[in-house]
Chains A and B, each alone.
Chain A
Amino acid sequence: MLIPQTKNIGLPLMNLMRFKGLPILQQLHIEEQLLRTSSENWCIVNDGTNDPTIVMGVSGKPAELLEIESVLDDQVPVIRRFTGGGTVIVDHGTVFVTFICNKEAVPNLQPYPRPIMSWSSSLYSKVFQGIGDFHLRENDYVFGNHKFGGNAQSITKNRWIHHTSFLWDFNVQNMSYLKHPKRAPAYR
């Protein structure tokens, strides 16, 4: 139901879904379904996922990005998501935040990667105000020089999704399943 006063609010009106510990595969299924079949705007927050899981971007090559032997030996699940971007390993210490919007939802926003990321980073600037030196650096969310989450997007004809996995906490050992990508921003 659209309340008439909402016409005057600058930010998009969104349906909010909150989960705790939803398996990341299930979250990605829900996201893709909402992106492609819903006509409403959504914000999804998932506080942690269950078991450590590797999530790769649409074009990621496992041989280049994963320590395959360790991944197989330890039976770490590997998922390929429908958005771009790099590889992350997520677990109960990861906080996921997703925005799924119609292309007219944010006034004056062109549905291309950099404008969308500019909008999302200005939103997160308010979230993290006073907490750390937050900014968008070479398409990464950072505090100072430290990247603290992975983000990615998908843009369809009339809608877009921007989702982030924030490393609220992480197991350093889990990072050893991942290789450094061939191309990475110099600041890292």
Chain B
Amino acid sequence: MDGLKYAESHEWVKHEGPVATIGITDHAQDHLGEVVFVELPEPGGSVSKGKGFGAVESVKATSDINSPISGEIVEVNSKLTETPGLINSSPYEGGWMIKVKPGSPSELESLMGPKEYTKFCEEEDASH
């Protein structure tokens, strides 16, 4: 998806003005399987680059979700409580997870762009 940046742990970030939206990629949701439960933090908390902030459950497994950037959580997608499947059906739109006020905008520069991420996924899948 254009306009997004990506982490090697398969989360995406969309930076618009003062807020960055975070979710997991289509590659991730496809490999995870049907998501049946999402554990998210409360607004007002903080996230750190590379550290876990929540988890999803699919196929009897909880999988940690790691934040691509650091910052303060300003909003959490409450629709995921009732409809966790949005992560599968709409990973970049309805399945967004948290919105963050970035603490260090330069962190975005070290993330991958769309073409780089596509290549990363192809190489990862090919090597397994």
Contacts and interface: CB of A to CB of B under 8 A. Distances in A.
A108 B128 CA distance: 4
A116 interface: yes
Given A156-B52, A157-B66, A113 B128 contact: no
B76 to A, nearest CB: 17
Contacts of A157: 9, 50, 52, 64, 66
A110 B55 CA distance: 18
Contacts of B36: 59, 84
A112 B124 CA distance: 12
The A contact surface, by secondary structure, is loop
Interface residues of B, number: 23
Interface in B23-77: 31-33, 36-37, 39, 50, 52, 55, 57-64, 66
Contact of B61 (A84, A86, A108, A109): A84
Given A156-B52, A157-B52, A114 B63 contact: no
A121 B24 CA distance: 28
A83 B55 CA distance: 10
Interface residues on A, range: 20 to 34
A56 to B, nearest CB: 12
Contacts of B52: 156-157
B128 A115 contact: yes
Contacts of A117: 59-60
A114 B59 CA distance: 7
A100 interface: no
24 contacts: A57-B57, A58-B39, A58-B55, A59-B57, A82-B62, A83-B60, A84-B59, A84-B60, A108-B128, A110-B31, A110-B125, A110-B128, A113-B59, A113-B63, A114-B59, A117-B59, A117-B60, A152-B60, A153-B62, A154-B64, A155-B62, A155-B63, A155-B64, A156-B64
Interface of B: 9, 31-33, 36-37, 39, 50, 52, 55, 57-64, 66, 124-125, 127-128
Interface of A: 57-59, 82-86, 108-110, 112-117, 139, 151-157
